[in-house]
Amino acid sequence: MKKILTLMILSYFCLAEGNSVEAQYNENVSKVGTTAAPFLSIEVGARAIGMGGAFVAISDDITSLYWNPAGLARLPHGEAIFTHTDWISDVNFDFAGIALPLGSLGALGLSFSALSMNEMKVRTLFYPEGTGEKFGASDFAIGMSYARNLTDRFSIGLSGKYIRQELWHMSASSFALDIGTLFITQFNGMKIGMSITNFGNKMKLEGSDTQVPVDVDP
């Protein structure tokens, strides 16, 4: 147990130092417009949100699908969740998930999240009232999670996600991973949790709307 605790603490400080070095190196580099699928950062679970998102080391319910997949291994029974949020500016956010403990084999979970909006009129400089067409935008992610107790105090979890974004005639898709650990110490039930979320490759919108006609000889 002491070796596991020491390893987790060292890993935390290594990650923190790495982030500090990267921040200093890129302090003059603009990150505007470089973040893909920002809807993945919309938090889930009234209890976790009410705690300001400090839930990675708790992760004792179905929302572990979002916060820390390792927490699924500690569920005493199967759980399910469905939430619908009327978000800002007529944007809707939905999250659904289910988790099933498999005894000594671990636990499995499935999740689905989506961000959507109502269709809007296509307006141009010459048709400010609309061209007769409509466009929409939507994002969604489908994930599968697996978690297992390696010891009576240490759990590990992994989630794989398929992510897709659509904006009128453009779309982008990618895959991402979540990796989490959860350790129950002997200090009055204190828990230590770590989670790396949405680690994946780059996304780029592609489609006919990305092609902008230019008159080289006006």
pTM comes to 0.77
Residue 13 is predicted with a pLDDT of 45
Instruction: Identify which of 135, 108, 111, 99 has the alpha carbon closest to the alpha carbon of residue 42.
Output: 111
The whole-number pLDDT of residue 217 equals: 54
Mapped onto helix, strand or coil, the DSSP state of residue 60 is coil
Q: Looking at residue 187, what is its pLDDT?
A: 87
Question: Do 137 and 61 touch, CB atoms closer than 8 A?
Answer: no
Q: How far is CA 61 from CA 41, 80, 143, 217, in A?
A: 19, 9, 17, 63
- Length in residues, the chain: 218
Domain range annotation of the chain: 2-24+36-203
Q: What pLDDT is stored for residue 218 in this prediction?
A: 52
Count CB atoms within 10 A of the CB of residue 144.
15
Q: In sequence order, which residues have a C-beta less than 8 Å from that of residue 175 and are 6 or more positions away?
A: 160, 161, 162, 163, 200, 201
Residue in the block written with tokens 């991973």:
177
pLDDT by 10s per residue, the chain, length 218: 555 544 454 454 444 444 433 333 344 544 545 567 889 999 999 999 999 999 999 999 999 999 999 999 999 999 999 999 998 888 999 999 999 999 999 999 999 999 999 888 888 888 888 888 888 889 999 999 999 999 999 999 999 999 999 988 889 999 999 999 999 998 887 999 999 999 988 888 787 766 555 555 55
For 180, how many CA atoms within 13 A lie in the half-sphere containing its CB? 32
pLDDT at 29: 47
Query: In sequence order, what are the beta bridge partners of 195?
Result: 180
- Quote the strand ranges of 88-190, DSSP E: 91-101, 107-117, 120-121, 134-135, 137-149, 154-167, 170-184
Q: What distance in Å separates the CA atoms of residue 45 and residue 97, rounded to the nearest whole number?
A: 11
Helix (H) or strand (E) holding 3: helix 2-25
